[in-house]
């Protein structure tokens, strides 16, 4: 049996947009694990939200290009 693909529900998207609008003009990058069949679509859900709220989006690529293991969400800051 295959697990249900991860996607953000409409309500989840609305809540994220409402909350994240309080933090304008943030830089963000989204990376995904290519070994998960739903990863690209799930990452695209977040990219869409970040673009809608006007964040500076670096679309990145698969995490295959990163060193080491990475899971979850991470906030990064641009140098000042």
Q: Which residues, including other chains, have CB under 8 Å from residue 50's CB and lie 6 or more apart?
A: 20, 28, 30, 57
| pLDDT classification of 78: cutoffs 50, 70, 90 | low
The stretch 45-66 carries a mean pLDDT of 80
pLDDT tens digits, residue range 3-16? 889 999 999 999 99
Tell me the domain boundaries of the chain: 10-60
40: pLDDT strictly greater than 50: yes
Kindly state the percentage of the chain with pLDDT values over 90.
50
How confident is the prediction for the chain on average, in pLDDT?
81
């Amino acid at each position: 049996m295959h697990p249900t693909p991860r996607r953000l529900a409409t309500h989840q998207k609305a809540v994220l947009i409402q909350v994240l609008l309080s933090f304008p003009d943030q830089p963000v990058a989204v990376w995904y694990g290519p070994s998960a069949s739903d990863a690209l679509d799930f990452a695209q859900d977040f990219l869409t939200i970040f673009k809608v709220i006007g964040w500076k989006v670096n679309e990145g690529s698969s995490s295959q290009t990163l060193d080491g293991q990475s899971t979850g969400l991470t906030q990064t800051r641009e140098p000042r």
